[in-house]
Amino acid sequence: MGVRFQTVSSTPPGGCYEYAIGDDVVVSKNRFEMLAKVRDLRAKHGLPTVGDGMRYLMEYMCPLLPDGFCTEPSAVKSYRVEEVKRDTAGLFQAMLAPSDDIERRMERCVSCSAHTTRGFCVDCNGLLEWLYRGFGGRRGRLPADKVLGVCYADGVMAAAGASAASRPLKTGSGYPPACWRLEEAIKNG
């Protein structure tokens, strides 16, 4: 068997399993439900499944998980949910950008290399509802909220980061060249 979780019965960081074939993605917090989804997705795409499907799930997830969780090393930077919540909470009192700016930023975040939903299923673990409560009704629900996860460069929920009108760049964060944060920092001098 190839790469696998150090402990096969361990739940991945963030509490959610994920598997994809192309753009077809399935997610679940429950391991047994997830294995059924893996088998169904593989069948949908005409692929055989040997065993319960765990092998395919681990081979897909391990390159995306933080170092130490799987049997092979990973260069993936990791954040714990508690860290992300702490840093995101610091944005709740910020002045908010106009909705059209927030949506434009969020569109960029979705395809950004520093953005991930792995380990941060905002619907599965209640993070999205927590975010709305944190803004205290000052920020409405936007369509892209459900597809955004965490900005690894800033260590915050991407939907919250895109909502703050302005804030300084985080030193040593390694923002990707196409990041809207870099673009706005240059524009605002």
Output the pLDDT for position 119: 66
pLDDT digits over 51-83, tens only?
Answer: 999 999 999 998 888 778 899 988 777 777 888
Which of 3-7, 112-116, 163-167 is predicted least confidently? 112-116
Using a 10 angstrom Cβ sphere, with 0-12 exposed, 13-18 middle and 19 or more buried, the burial of residue 27 is middle
> Is 36 found in the same domain as 13?
yes
Enumerate residues 6+ apart whose C-beta is below 8 A from 91.
156, 160, 161, 163, 164, 167
Residue 66 phi, psi (nearest 5): -60, 150
> Is 93 found in the same domain as 174?
yes
> Is 119 found in the same domain as 71?
no
- Kind plus residue range of the DSSP H or E element containing 34: helix 31-44
Q: What is the mean pLDDT of residues 16-34?
A: 91
pLDDT digits over 138-181, tens only?
Answer: 998 998 898 898 998 899 999 999 999 988 888 877 888 889 99
Q: What tokens appear for 131 in the block?
A: 């975010």
Output the pLDDT for position 95: 95
> Is 142 found in the same domain as 104?
yes
pLDDT digits over 92-101, tens only?
Answer: 999 999 999 9
Among residues 25, 54, 76, the one where a domain terminates is 76
Is pLDDT of 14 > 80? no
Among residues 56, 76, 96, the one where a domain terminates is 76
> Is 113 found in the same domain as 60?
no
pTM of the full structure: 0.65
Among residues 44, 76, 108, the one where a domain terminates is 76
Structural domain including 108 reads 81-187
The dihedral formed by the CA atoms of 11, 13, 18 and 22, expressed in degrees to the nearest 10: -140
The mean of the pLDDT values for the chain is 89
> Is 67 found in the same domain as 102?
no
DSSP character for 96? B
Sign of CA dihedral 137, 139, 144, 149: negative
Output the pLDDT for position 122: 78
Structurally, the chain folds into a number of domains equal to 2
